[in-house]
Structure 1
Amino acid sequence: MSRQDQSSDDLRAESGKPRLSAIVLIYVREMRDQLRDRRTLFTIALLPIMLYPLVGTLLLQIAQFSQKHTTTICLVGSENIQGGPPLLKGDAFSEEYTDGSNNLTVVLRRADDVDEGETLQEATVQWVQDGSFDCVLMFPPSFVAPASEQGQTKRSVEVLYNVSSDESQIAMSRVTTILGKWRSAWVGQSLEASGIDMAMLEPFQWKDVDLSPERTREAAFWSKMLPFIMLVWAMTGAFYPAIDLVAGEKERGTLETLLCSPALRSEIVWGKLGAVASFSMLTAILNAGSMLVTSYFVVQRIGVGGAAIGAPPLVPMLWLFVALIPLSCLFSALALAVAAMARSSKEGQYYLMPLMMVTLPLVLLPMLPGMNLSAGTSLIPVTGMFLLVRALVEGQYSESMLHFPLVFGVTVGCLWLAVTWAKRQFENEAVLFGGQEQWEFGAWVKHLWRDRQPVATTAQAYACGAIILVALFFGRLAATAVPDDLAGITKMILNSQLGLILTPALLMSVMLTTSIRSSLRVRWPHWFSLPMAVALGVTLHPLYLALGRWIEYTYPVSAEALQAMRPFLDQVETAPWYSIVFLMAFIPAVCEELAFRGFIFAGLVRQGGRLRAMVVTALMFGISHGFLQQSIAASCMGVLIGWVALRTGSVLPCILLHFTSNALSVSMSRLTNSRLPGIDLFITTTQDGAVYQPLWFLMSIGLAITCVMYFATLRSPVEESNAGGCSVETGPPNTNSQQSAG
């Protein structure tokens, strides 16, 4: 390296910017250490190369066994078979009913061919249970009927089998198929004897015509299976190297040496991230390649439901490898961030398993029937990329390119958040080296009471949010039906809002903090922020309704859900207005804001966690709502309310903003029917319900921006410190003091 390059790197290091040379050096170090580990080489390279051929060989043997396995059937009461076409030919079923299959053995027994002192029913049950026969077919004496009564007698046959035995179930399936063909032949013979044409039973036939191209049919199997395999192995390939590169280095004592080196923390993160992502992609590619080659030959031998299986198209496979890069980086960043909290490799595995359980549904979601690439699914992390790759493999290029920008934007955004989280984890000494002592329940309880602070800790805030969400989940499961009267609505809202949302926050505030007002952020802000919060709620409501309609268009509500909610919505429209506003606007605004923007926000905003407090409380606030469409809209509104809480330092403006938005939402249809003077200038009625006039919609956006600018001029309150300092200073900035300070 030249002196000029060295001086340039030194300047970048002094400015806090990561240096590429340092990142490459750390990357090479981590890759070299991992490649020296035999377990890593075995897991990444040898295991996929050896595993899939062995599994394929086993599948071929199992398929060969299932095809050549001879089914043994005991037929009891053959002497009772009279009339109709012959079922038996000698001691076997007629070939016209078995399609010439020779792996079916029939043993004929008479009804009296049992041991002394044993009934026929007991004997047949014993034959099936001990495996003497796969199933028993019984023709009782009642199967025989006089010729004069054949048209009136209903014959019955018993098929005895063991549902816990696969061989017995296969035998039962074969026997019922044979009996079905025999019955059809018997019906045809009877109709022919009566002079009736058999075609009358089948007045028409249909023919299935598959219009999909042959190449699409051949690639259909790989389009669903291959992306799933690659994503699962990408997660697995990222988790275990991340544990070794962080928690493993803590155990070996080499992480401290690396942190004391001249390398920046961001350089360490990028170097380790590159190493983990490399192993993640390598694991996915080797496993997918080995599985692809093995399964191609295995499927050609045994087939999959009779479908045509061919090799996947080459160009979409290249797109799959390209899509693997950001997803592997995403999984690697998440794994690094979580592994940083572990003190040992064993503890790291405990942390990463819940992370895998959270991300795995995003991979399994595209496997559901009817899940296709759309604007709505493109916004789901990981799922959108999975569906995009599947569409490319199936040759749907126009559909893929249409949704590519959304999928790319969501993936890049999630990747940025994951990398940022990982960098912050490595910059926090308490995360890397904290909590070395053994945990004891009694000491922990004493610590909670003895070391109480004016506001909740970060862990207590997360615990409160988790308790609320879990309580709401089980509360909704306990609800038997949607209430259709005012009393039922009142009971439902009070139980959920007061009992499941506000009560946990109040109890934790009383028991775990020294100041209820500070922990709930019940402070008097600058007086002008209160009417401005109401104004922001009014002017922002048209945009909020438009957002809700777009969400419903992107994620349509099912007809069943609308039908179930119809009595509730009708009651909202007909009940007294003040009751609905109190129940659906005032109560939720007070309870939810005290819990989410009060207790939880106060705990999360500590130690500079402003963005964390806004985003996490918004997500919890959105998840607390029942429907997906409502949750998305509430999360977006929650970010804005959290920002207002951050600027004002109080929960009171948040309550007013929340109340105003809810009150307008439940009053829209009533306002259109109120015939108030000038109401037509703001609201009109369409086939979709009450909507705002276009002119007022545009004006409200400008007024809402003005309100937001006012809150932006407020001086943010002093953040809560570790000791729980709660001094607040809000209001417009003091120009004179700023000039004198300058």
Structure 2
Amino acid sequence: MVWNVAWRDLLSTLRDRRTLLSTILLPLLVLPLLTLGMPLLLGNLMGGQAKEAQKVGVIGTLPAELRRTLTRNGSGGTGVELITVKDPVQAVRSGEAEAVLRAPSPLPTQAGNTQGTLELYAKLGNLKSQTGAYAKVKDAVDTYNRSLTRQRLTALGLSETVLTPVQVKPVDASPPQERSAGMLAFVVPMLMLSFLLNGGMATALDSTAGEKERGTLESLLISPVRRGEVVAGKLLATTLMALATGFFSLLGFLGTGLVTAVLSKRAVVDPEALQVMGGQLTLTLGSLAAMVVIVLSVALLISAVLIALSIYARSYKEAQTYVSPLSLLIVLPAVMLQFSDFLKVGDWLYAVPLFGSMVAILDVVKGQITPLHTLAAVVANLLGTALLGWLAWRSFGREEVIFRN
């Protein structure tokens, strides 16, 4: 009887093509666009800035060596085009020049006791300017300063290494999974739980508040089906739809990771461009099993929350107002995960329903999950599911809740 109730609700959900789009196509399309498409797009835009010769205004006199450094075309990109302007602020604001250099006094041509000041006008809050003319001018001035310093040291019979007697060599001690995931690790928990919520929402709302509006809930309750079987069936249908969305979202993550690895190996794309928004998701068999168990428990908990809230609503629209804040309960803790490195994460945190699962999923992506933490997150979710399922069962037994539409 539980499966019959669940199949009845699943058929009602699957008849809506929009639900199928949000369950299957949305995770498979949105995730590659976010994790692969956006980094490639930003990488191409920034790469285009390096190859484009931006116009840089000049007021005053620049040393010949500095002018050659600014306009020089190297292997990393194209230099800038120097033009003469009168008003630096107006030139930048009008777009006549992307940046303007102003030398109030002659700049030194050799390193010594004198120091010159070079004013650089640009729209500092503009990403295009920062990755284009502004960045090129800063690099050119740094190169010019190093050149003068090197000449001065050579004249004194010293090596350039005298300025850096100790060099720091960074060595990344992170696990391979954490290095490959990068900043993507913090996005996975939020997107995974968001897709679970969206996948189960349509079925939960339609099988409770939607049936109230259509008047079909009464016919179900007078049939020879126990209230507990009705609740279990609706919970099963909602969980299956949520898991379907979670499965396709995980498939989208893993598929994107494979495509990224292939493109990077064949040098089709720049690996640094793929690190703009993160990296790629790679899971071992153990971490994949932990991810599946955690996602299953989260789907049960979210489904129980949706059923327990939706049964109180008089209409489908009212149910939507009840479940809409749930997205904030997922997004806000997921944003806090970005600062998890500054927090002391204790074992108790994994026992917090829902949020503990986010931390556990983050550990899975980073390759740091332990069986104890997985068990704590799963048990907490199952206990929360049992409590909310009991509340939903009590609600289905109260006439003032069932018939108050």
Q: TM-score range by the shorter chain?
A: 0.7 to 0.9
What is the SS of the residue equivalent to 2:401? helix
Is 2:383 the partner of 1:413? yes
- Match of residue 139 from structure 1: 103
What is the SS of the residue equivalent to 2:91? helix
- Distance in 1 between residues matched to 2:165 and 2:47, nearest whole Å: 36
- Match of residue 622 from structure 1: none
- Distance in 2 between residues matched to 1:324 and 1:59, nearest whole Å: 27
1:542-557 correspondence to structure 2 within 5 Å: none
- Match of residue 14 from structure 2: 35
Task: Give per-residue Cα distances to partners, 1:571-595, cap 9 Å, x unaligned.
Answer: xxxxxxxxxxxxxxxxxxxxxxxxx
- Match of residue 328 from structure 1: 299
> Structure 2 regions of 5+ residues with no counterpart?
none
Change (3 A) 1:198 1:62: closer
How far has the Cα of 1:327 moved from its partner?
0.8
Change (3 A) 1:52 1:411: closer
1:74–1:106 CA contact under 8 A, matched in 2 = yes
Change (3 A) 1:289 1:306: closer
- Distance in 1 between residues matched to 2:170 and 2:396, nearest whole Å: 60
Greater radius of gyration (CA): 1
How far has the Cα of 1:282 moved from its partner?
0.5
1:604-619 correspondence to structure 2 within 5 Å: none
What is the SS of the residue equivalent to 2:71? coil
Is 2:330 the partner of 1:351? no
Is 2:290 the partner of 1:319? yes
What is the SS of the residue equivalent to 1:76? strand
Match of 1:239 among 197, 201, 204: 201
Task: Give per-residue Cα distances to partners, 1:38-71, cap 9 Å, x unaligned.
Answer: 2211221233334445564565344323312325
- Match of residue 49 from structure 1: 28
How far has the Cα of 1:286 moved from its partner?
0.9
- Match of residue 93 from structure 1: 71
- Distance in 1 between residues matched to 2:68 and 2:380, nearest whole Å: 67
2:304–2:388 CA contact under 8 A, matched in 1 = yes
How far has the Cα of 1:131 moved from its partner?
2.0
1:637-648 correspondence to structure 2 within 5 Å: none
- Match of residue 144 from structure 2: 182
2:58–2:100 CA contact under 8 A, matched in 1 = yes
Is 2:96 the partner of 1:125? no
Match of 1:160 among 110, 114, 121: 121
2:40–2:274 CA contact under 8 A, matched in 1 = no
State the AA in 1 paired with 2:43.
A
How far has the Cα of 1:155 moved from its partner?
1.1
State the AA in 1 paired with 2:147.
A
- Distance in 2 between residues matched to 1:267 and 1:306, nearest whole Å: 46
TM-score scaled by structure 1? Answer: 0.48
How far has the Cα of 1:146 moved from its partner?
10
Alignment RMSD? 3.0
1:136–1:161 CA contact under 8 A, matched in 2 = yes
Change (3 A) 1:107 1:360: closer
Change (3 A) 1:396 1:213: closer
Percent of aligned positions with the same letter in both sequences? 27
How far has the Cα of 1:404 moved from its partner?
4.1
Change (3 A) 1:374 1:430: same
What is the SS of the residue equivalent to 2:319? helix
1:462-501 correspondence to structure 2 within 5 Å: none
Change (3 A) 1:269 1:213: closer
Is 2:232 the partner of 1:277? no
Is 2:403 the partner of 1:425? no
State the AA in 2 paired with 1:135.
A
Task: Give per-residue Cα distances to partners, 1:638-689, cap 9 Å, x unaligned.
Answer: xxxxxxxxxxxxxxxxxxxxxxxxxxxxxxxxxxxxxxxxxxxxxxxxxxxx
Change (3 A) 1:159 1:78: same
> Structure 1 regions of 5+ residues with no counterpart?
1-21, 115-119, 437-742
2:9–2:203 CA contact under 8 A, matched in 1 = no
Higher RCO by CA contacts (8 Å cutoff, separation 6 or greater): 2
Change (3 A) 1:321 1:376: same
What is the SS of the residue equivalent to 2:382? helix
Residue correspondences, number: 391
TM-score scaled by structure 2? Answer: 0.85
State the AA in 1 paired with 2:17.
R
- Match of residue 373 from structure 2: 403
Change (3 A) 1:58 1:218: closer
